[in-house]
């Protein structure tokens, strides 16, 4: 996905390696928001709620 000329993957490791970052797809197409998942619980919620 390209946003303002910058390429984004749907899921990627954060720059410091301490989180997995995702595009919150529930906000698209009206808003572009990146969420840092820092725990297994957050990742499970993201999957369950279809972020």
Tens-place pLDDT, residues 12-47: 999 999 999 999 999 999 999 999 999 999 999 999
Q: Check whether 51 has a pLDDT greater than 80.
A: no
Binned at pLDDT 50, 70 and 90, residue 2 comes out as: confident
Phi (first) and psi of residue 23, to 5 degrees: -85, 125
Q: Is the pTM of this model over 0.85?
A: no
Q: Structural domain boundaries of the chain?
A: 2-48
Q: Strands (DSSP E) along the chain, which ranges?
A: 2-3, 6-7, 11-13, 20-23, 34-37
pLDDT at 1: 84
Give the pLDDT confidence score for residue 15 in this predicted structure: 96
């Amino acid at each position: 996905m390209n946003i303002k000329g910058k390429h984004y993957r749907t899921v990627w490791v954060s720059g410091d390696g301490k989180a997995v970052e995702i595009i919150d797809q529930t906000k698209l197409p009206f808003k572009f928001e990146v969420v840092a998942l820092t725990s297994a619980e957050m990742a499970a919620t993201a999957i369950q709620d279809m972020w």
